[in-house]
A and B are shown apart, each in its own frame.
Chain A
Amino acid sequence: AQSVTQLDSHVSVSEGTPVLLRCNYSSSYSPSLFWYVQHPNKGLQLLLKYTSAATLVKGINGFEAEFKKSETSFHLTKPSAHMSDAAEYFCVVRSPGGTSYGKLTFGQGTILTVHP
Chain B
Amino acid sequence: EAGVAQSPRYKIIEKRQSVAFWCNPISGHATLYWYQQILGQGPKLLIQFQNNGVVDDSQLPKDRFSAERLKGVDSTLKIQPAKLEDSAVYLCASSYSPKTGGETEAFFGQGTRLTVV
A residues touching B (Cβ–Cβ < 8 Å)?
A: 32, 34, 36, 42-46, 49, 51, 90, 94, 96-98, 100-109
When C-beta atoms are compared, the residue in chain A nearest to B97 turns out to be A97
The answer on a CB contact under 8 Å between B103 and A94 is: yes
User: Would you mind naming 14 contact pairs between A and B with Cβ atoms under 8 Å apart?
Assistant: A43-B91, A43-B108, A44-B43, A45-B108, A49-B105, A51-B102, A97-B97, A98-B102, A100-B55, A101-B55, A104-B45, A104-B106, A107-B42, A109-B42
Interchain CA distance A105-B41 in the complex, whole Å = 12
Q: How far is the CB of A64 from chain B (nearest CB, A)?
A: 16
Q: Quick one: given A43-B108, A43-B109, A94-B103, are A101 and B50 in contact (CB under 8 Å)?
A: yes
The answer on a CB contact under 8 Å between A106 and B102 is: no
Q: Quick one: given A102-B95, A103-B48, are A97 and B101 in contact (CB under 8 Å)?
A: yes
The answer on a CB contact under 8 Å between B43 and A106 is: yes
B residues touching A (Cβ–Cβ < 8 Å)?
A: 3-4, 31, 33, 35, 41-45, 48, 50, 55-56, 91, 93, 95, 97, 101-103, 105-111
When C-beta atoms are compared, the residue in chain A nearest to B3 turns out to be A43
Interchain CA distance A97-B55 in the complex, whole Å = 11
When C-beta atoms are compared, the residue in chain B nearest to A108 turns out to be B42
Q: Which of A42, A46, A98, A109 contacts B110 (CB 8 A)?
A: A42
If A97-B103, A109-B41 are given as contacts, then 18 extra A-B residue pairs at C-beta distance below 8 Å, sorted by A number, are A32-B102, A36-B108, A43-B3, A43-B110, A45-B108, A96-B102, A97-B97, A97-B102, A101-B48, A101-B50, A101-B55, A101-B56, A101-B103, A102-B103, A103-B56, A104-B106, A105-B45, A107-B42
Q: How far is the CB of B94 from chain A (nearest CB, A)?
A: 11
Interchain CA distance A106-B44 in the complex, whole Å = 7
Interchain CA distance A105-B42 in the complex, whole Å = 9
Residues of A contacting B91 in the complex (Cβ-Cβ under 8 angstroms): 43-44
Interchain CA distance A109-B103 in the complex, whole Å = 23
